[in-house]
Amino acid sequence: MAADCIFCKIAGGKTETEFLYENETLVVFRDIKPHTPVHVLIVPKKHIRSVNDLTEADSKIISEMMMVAKEIAKKESVSESGYKLLFNVERGGGQVVFHLHLHLMGGWKR
Ligand code: 5GP
Ligand code: ZN
């Protein structure tokens, strides 16, 4: 756990944040300021700053994040209508929380 990292605190169960899903690798919770009707964050328990910091040893974490995203999309009823999966990388890429996370966004009426 990194000091002063909000997602380390959340993933470690140290806040009131409700999990949609949790396993030994990651947690899933709703974005506090949703940009879309369904806006969920898939967050590994391991503190990794961004995609830039991934190593070969993190491959399993990334694949789990994608597989869980697919299942959460189903649960949130956006599989059929469609959704976006997004990693913001560093400041220029829109990242503001420097603990790796995958955005799952969907639920538009299109
Ligand atoms: P980023 O721009 O770093 O890719 O996305 C960070 C996301 O985390 C933002 O959409 C922001 O609303 C969300 N977020 C930041 N702090 C919290 C928090 O304490 N709780 C929750 N649930 N979401 C947060
Ligand atoms: Zn962290």
- pTM of the full structure: 0.97
Q: What does the alpha-carbon distance between residue 34 and residue 42 come to, in Å, rounded to a whole number?
A: 14
95 Cβ inside 6 Å of ligand 1: yes
Provide the 8-state DSSP code for 14. -
29 Cβ inside 6 Å of ligand 1: yes
In the predicted model, is pLDDT for residue 38 greater than 70? yes
Residue 101 annotated as catalytic: yes
| pLDDT tens digits, 59-86 | 999 999 999 999 999 999 999 999 999 9
Please identify every residue whose CB atom is under 5 Å from ligand 2, which is an ion.
2, 5, 7-8, 47, 99
How far is CA 29 from each of CA 26, 42, 53, 57, 62, rounded to the nearest angstrom?
A: 10, 7, 23, 25, 17
Neighbours of 18 (CB within 10 A): 7
Instruction: Check 39, 99, 101, 103 and give the catalytic one.
Output: 101
